[in-house]
Amino acid sequence: MSSLHKSRIADFHDVLKEPTIALEKLRDLSFSGIPCEGGLRCLCWKILLNYLPLERASWTSILAKQRELYSQFLREMIIQPGIAKANMGVSREDVTFEDHPLNPNPDSRWNTYFKDNEVLLQIDKDVRRLCPDISFFQRATEYPCLLILDPQNEFETLRKRVEQTTLKSQTVARNRSGVTNMSSPHKNSAPSSLNEYEVLPNGCEAHWEVVERILFIYAKLNPGIAYVQGMNEIVGPLYYTFATDPNSEWKEHAEADTFFCFTNLMAEIRDNFIKSLDDSQCGITYKMEKVYSTLKDKDMELYLKLQEQNIKPQFFAFRWLTLLLSQEFLLPDVIRIWDSLFADDNRFDFLLLVCCAMLILIREQLLEGDFTINMRLLQDYPITDVCQILQKAKELQDSK
């Protein structure tokens, strides 16, 4: 470890040991990258995402309160409905019109259950293929949720719901076609096949199952937006960071802490996921156009080239902005970019500058390339040095 790195770690400790955290100092330090040693990044992200307040004395009580609240969410939205489902219609005398699966009432328990299953199946499909370049999400967590895995609780877990719903889908397909094909309805999406992953022994659960639970509870608590594909790419780096915290006491509560940090982050970017807001001033279309207007101001020649080739920002910037660049770089680089994004008080204005910097840094290739070559460059971004990108974005910010 270099003396400079040791000095940076000491600077972070100096800021974080104060009774009241100096937010601007923390932001200035974090913008240049947060050391992972000693759980510094985990702690800083929790402060920068407004999960932890600036007053250190209140951290213990707030964490205890929020983690207990998350446990209550688990009981209300997974365990109790699972018990109810297991008990519904145990015998024919128990089945009333109100809880019959064919009850057309949109407020019936069964109708809610079926709608939740639609959301759950999409979440399950997405989280199973999270960060395929690393094995982390397929491995067993050191801290499985005891509430969920308690052998005393006989209820339908999310895993069972997915397996049973998928099996029913297979059966329906077989009956309607008259053949005995039991292939998964997801067979064309290789990573999402239920049989593609090693089955963990009883009492264990994979990290992707934890992420699935976080997203399902978020969808239940936020019915206006529920779950939109891509949210898994936002929660993934958060959970990975908290679940690899060297502080075992905090790592144990990675699920709850991720949920609340994800909720706070989504409060800032949720408009990107709401299609009806796409063309509003807070929607994703406006932000994509802002990338081009910034580029026009900073590099007119490159802007005109992209206009001439009719390369619209929707072709690449939609993914860049909506997923906070989580699909453009390897996970460690995404985390480094997020250090700077979370540290900037106008963090999503800074994201626009990062996108603009990404264009300018490959300007020579773009100016020489035709439409096909340039689209390939923009959809498979060639520069891997994220520090170079962030430095260029900071230059653009300072030149305003």
Mean pLDDT within 255-278? 88
Given this model, what pLDDT does residue 166 score? 63
Given this model, what pLDDT does residue 11 score? 96
Contact 37, 244 (CB under 8 A): no
Q: For Cα atoms 17, 394, 18, give the angle at the middle one, nearest 5 degrees.
A: 10
Name the band, by pLDDT with cuts 50, 70 and 90, for residue 273.
confident
pLDDT tens track for 131-173: 988 999 999 999 988 888 876 666 667 877 887 766 554 433 3
Name the band, by pLDDT with cuts 50, 70 and 90, for residue 347.
confident
Global pTM value: 0.86
Sign of the CA dihedral with 57 first, then 60, 62, and 65 last: negative
pLDDT tens track for 193-218: 444 556 677 778 999 999 999 999 99
Contact 89, 99 (CB under 8 A): yes
How many Å apart are CA 352 and CA 290, to the nearest integer? 7
Q: Which residue has the higher pLDDT, 173 or 11?
A: 11
Given this model, what pLDDT does residue 378 score? 96
Given this model, what pLDDT does residue 399 score? 87
Q: Which residue has the higher pLDDT, 344 or 168?
A: 344
Is the per-residue pLDDT at 229 higher than 60?
Answer: yes
- Matching residue, tokens 């206009």: 307
